[in-house]
């Protein structure tokens, strides 16, 4: 039976907002590595950001650091052969998770959506970023994408190493050498939570349990809002019993316009129940974070139908007042860049938007029935 990760005490966590903040910190840690670099990223595209990471990986490999990389077979379709060859020429091992092939039929939908960097098995970064210019240096409309990463030190890094190692062994049949131990210290209480497709959805179950017992607030930030019935029901019930339920959702800038339209199908009952919905305006909101009372969660999972049906996901849960306060402050800051959707305004939307909502919502439900 699969063992769930337990709560780990004595961790240090720093919440990093947006690429111009977290990419330099990640690269600085990589440049200090002397034992190992473990990278697992869904979205990998050749460009300026990836060049910086390739330089750091190559330099690390040349000074004797073990460098292992897992990329997704679909998310890395813009990862050039030249860049891949440059890494492999330095002895860097790259594993492609579930390469696309027509013979796999619906198995092509299964993706590794996790975003993880572990340095020397002592420092870890987890969140929602990819290795792509859209998170920092792109000048495209709606960019750079608004994103969150967490830098972590402490015992919970052992679990993140184990998570990477499980997938590495699954793909290669090999296990990586263990890292160092952690001395006991005071710090943040953190637990790793995962999703492994339809059959294991700890992230969703944990979130629902928290929402169902919430007494103060339920704040959710997500890029793609296609919640299951159980999630919609839990959010409505929380709002009806007086809990402050707020959703920050991607607004007009998105890489998946169909999700933007399909999500509107769920607004009516949520708004009538007292749930407050905000659409982020200045650029693409790609962050995934939730705060329920004094508990928080962040990582790669959007808690939407697609993530929960097909993907590998990884989040961390926080049980620490100071860290949860930092997350709450990010919510407060982002609310200033949102447009609130009221029931009155939503009910007056034009007919052609209603048609798009119905069509895309129907298609999203149809895809979920595929086995």
Residue spans of the domains in the chain: they are 8-175+184-190, 193-368
58: enclosing H helix or E strand: helix 48-62
Query: Which of the 8 DSSP states describes residue 286?
Result: -
pLDDT of residue 368: 58
Place of tokens 């440059």: 86
Q: What is the dihedral of CA 361, 141, 338, 221, to 10 degrees?
A: 60
In three-state secondary structure terms, 235 is: helix
| Residues forming beta bridges with residue 220, ordered by sequence position | 247, 290
pLDDT of residue 218: 98
| Residues forming beta bridges with residue 316, ordered by sequence position | 192, 298
Q: What are the Cα distances from residue 307, in Å, to 3, 123, 128?
A: 21, 26, 13
Residue 217: pLDDT over 50: yes
Do 8-175+184-190 and 193-368 share a fold?
yes
Place of tokens 């960019």: 143
The top-level CATH class assigned to 8-175+184-190 is: alpha beta
Residue 10: pLDDT over 90: yes
| Residues forming beta bridges with residue 196, ordered by sequence position | 198, 312
193-368 CATH fold: Endonuclease; Chain A (3.30.870)
Task: Compute the distance between CA of residue 191 and CA of residue 317 in angstroms, rounded to an integer.
Answer: 5
pLDDT in tens, 63-76: 999 999 999 999 99
Query: Model pTM?
Result: 0.95
Residue 153: pLDDT over 50: yes
Length of the chain: 371
pLDDT in tens, 306-347: 788 889 999 999 999 999 999 999 999 999 999 999 999 888
In three-state secondary structure terms, 175 is: coil
- Give the residue, 265 or 231, on which the prediction is more confident: 231
Q: What is the residue-averaged pLDDT of the chain?
A: 93
Place of tokens 């637990």: 191
Task: Compute the distance between CA of residue 83 and CA of residue 135 in angstroms, rounded to an integer.
Answer: 19
The whole-number average pLDDT for the span 84-97 is: 97
The whole-number average pLDDT for the span 235-262 is: 94
Residue 365: pLDDT over 80: no
Task: Compute the distance between CA of residue 132 and CA of residue 181 in angstroms, rounded to an integer.
Answer: 33
Residue 40: pLDDT over 70: yes
| Segment among 238-242, 355-359, 360-364 with least mean pLDDT | 360-364
pLDDT of residue 324: 95
Residue 125: pLDDT over 80: yes
**Confidence band, pLDDT 50/70/90 cuts, at residue 1:** very low
């Amino acid at each position: 039976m699969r063992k769930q990760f337990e709560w780990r005490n004595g961790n240090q966590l720093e919440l990093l907002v947006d690429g111009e903040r977290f990419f330099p910190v990640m690269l600085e840690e990589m440049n200090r590595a002397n034992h190992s670099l473990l990278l697992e990223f869904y979205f990998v595209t050749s460009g300026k950001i990836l060049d910086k990471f390739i330089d750091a990986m190559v330099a690390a490999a040349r000074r004797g650091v073990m460098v292992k990389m897992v990329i997704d077979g679909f998310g890395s379709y813009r990862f050039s052969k030249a860049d891949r060859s440059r890494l492999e020429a330095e002895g860097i091992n790259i594993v492609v998770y579930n390469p696309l092939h027509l013979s796999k039929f619906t198995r092509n939908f299964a993706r590794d959506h996790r975003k993880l960097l572990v340095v020397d098995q002592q420092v870890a970064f987890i969140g929602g970023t990819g290795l792509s210019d859209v998170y920092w240096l792109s000048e495209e409309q709606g960019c750079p994408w608004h994103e969150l990463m967490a830098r972590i030190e402490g015992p919970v890094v052992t679990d993140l190493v184990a998570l990477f190692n499980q997938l590495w062994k699954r793909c290669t049949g090999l296990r990586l050498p263990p890292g160092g131990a952690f001395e006991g210290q005071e710090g943040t209480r953190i637990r790793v939570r995962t999703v492994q497709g339809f059959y294991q959805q700890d992230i969703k179950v944990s979130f629902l349990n928290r929402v169902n017992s919430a007494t103060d607030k339920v704040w959710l930030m997500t890029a793609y809002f296609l919640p299951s019935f159980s999630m919609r029901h839990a959010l409505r019930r929380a709002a009806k019993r007086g809990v402050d339920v707020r959703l920050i959702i991607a607004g007009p800038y998105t890489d998946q316009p169909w999700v933007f339209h399909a999500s509107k199908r769920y607004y009516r009952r949520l708004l009538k129940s007292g749930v407050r919905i905000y659409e982020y305006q200045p650029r693409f909101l790609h962050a995934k974070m939730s705060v329920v009372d004094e508990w928080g969660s962040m990582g790669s999972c959007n808690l939407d139908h697609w993530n929960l049906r097909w993907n590998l996901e990884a989040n961390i849960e926080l049980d620490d007042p100071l860290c949860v306060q930092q997350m709450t402050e990010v919510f407060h800051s982002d609310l200033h860049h949102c447009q609130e959707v009221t029931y009155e305004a939503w009910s007056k939307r034009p007919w052609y938007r209603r048609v798009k909502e119905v069509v895309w919502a129907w298609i999203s439900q149809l895809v979920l029935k595929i086995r």
